[in-house]
Amino acid sequence: MSETLKLTEQLIARQSLTPKDEDCLNIIGNRLEKIGFKLEFVRCGDVDNLWARRGNSGPLLCFAGHTDVVPTGPLDKWVSDPFTPTIRDGMLYGRGAADMKASLAAFVTSIEKFVARHPQHNGSIALLLTSDEEGVAVDGTVRVVELLQKRGEKIDYCVVGEPTAVSKTGDTIKNGRRGSLSGKLTVKGIQGHIAYPHLVKNPIHLASPAIAELAATEWDKGNEYFPPTSWQISNIHGGTGATNVVPGTVEILFNFRFSTASTVDGLKQKVHAILDKHDLQYDLDWELSGKPYLTPRGNLSDAMSAAIKQATGITTELSTTGGTSDGRFIADICPQVVEMGPVNATIHKLNECVAVADLDTLSEVYFLTMENLLAKN
């Protein structure tokens, strides 16, 4: 059994339902400390974070990830216990197997191998780990980033271990993510009896033309790395439940997934302009849960692409699809952030799993990336 498999199984066995860490950081930290890492545990609220660093010089290459996992769902729908790592037909099953305990284990074993071969390597290596990525993500990576900012500690390269592969580990690197901007729109009318339309103002009717225009608006054209920005309604609620009452308000929840071709302020201004154009009385509350980030082709993506080619023979693709990740926080102090991990087909699902053969492949890719960036010539 490989070291990466053993450590992955050890981590899966910890029931680290977000925001609980359940000692995963200590398991990882104990191994890192043995090879010269200085550990800094950062507790924020109910969240455990770890900043571990080996070396004091630049460039600094950081591996980032999370120990927390999403809830299991109905246990009777799992073929085996989600916190008892089980191998069947070459697949390792367990909650967090793909998202992202395999990557955490591969981080550790690749670093152990690299330090053993290059004890006097160039620059520094760090890990930024949290137990608050799958939840609200307010006391996790963002807090460690704030701490590093206050100290003036910057990261040159960051590899986030999110599961990025479509069909085979190594086929996709994420070099950016779209931002997420949500709005809670309340359009006001006048409630009354449905039989007296001259005495009421139906907010659903009033809002409909504005909704149609918002849905038809081209917010931007995207760019080389991102598709055009998308605006979607997720919920609409209006009415008292009675069939003979016009409601006084209608509530609309919507979300932008936006690219670097747009700005937060620009999107807000366009929405307000459309609503005002239709003479609506409304309240609109905004929530920004993530800014977009983009890492153009450069040293890090080239180093990892070459590592993937050497380890797997695959010519990887750069992509910005998918939801948000903690890369959005790290991008504030790091100019080059990429995400690369195992196949994402089963993440958050029942019977989550990862191919056993991919574990050592993943570790090798991380190891070769370090060799490409930090090994002395």
Active centre residues (catalytic): 68, 133
Instruction: Tell me how crowded residue 201 is: count the other CB atoms within 10 A of its CB.
Output: 16
In terms of Cβ atoms closer than 10 Å to its own Cβ (0-12, 13-18, 19+), residue 57 is exposed
Q: Dihedral of CA 163/260/303/112: which sign?
A: negative
**CA dist., res. 103 & res. 63, Å (int):** 10
Output the CA–CA distances (angstroms, integers) from residue 91 to 12, 76, 85, 244, in the order listed. 14, 20, 10, 57
Q: If you ran DSSP here, which 8-state letter would residue 190 be given?
A: B
- d(CA 196, CA 278) in angstroms, rounded, equals 23
Q: Which residues pair with 257 in a beta bridge?
A: 180, 230
Cα separations in angstroms, 376 against 149, 216, 355, 368, 373: 29, 55, 33, 13, 9
DSSP codes, 76-117:
GGSSS-TTS-EEETTEEESTTIIIIIHHHHHHHHHHHHHHHH
Q: What are the structure tokens assigned to 37, written together?
A: 């890492």
Name the helix (H) or strand (E) containing 308. helix 299-312
Residue reference for tokens 């550990």: 39
SS3 17: strand
Question: Which has the closest alpha carbon to 334: 157, 198, 193?
Answer: 157
CA 304/CA 167 separation, integer angstroms:
18
Query: Backbone phi, then psi, for 313, in 5-degree steps?
Result: 85, 0
DSSP string, 128-172: EEES-SSS--SSSHHHHHHHHHHHT---SEEEE----BSSSTTSE
Distance CA 206, CA 187 (A): 8
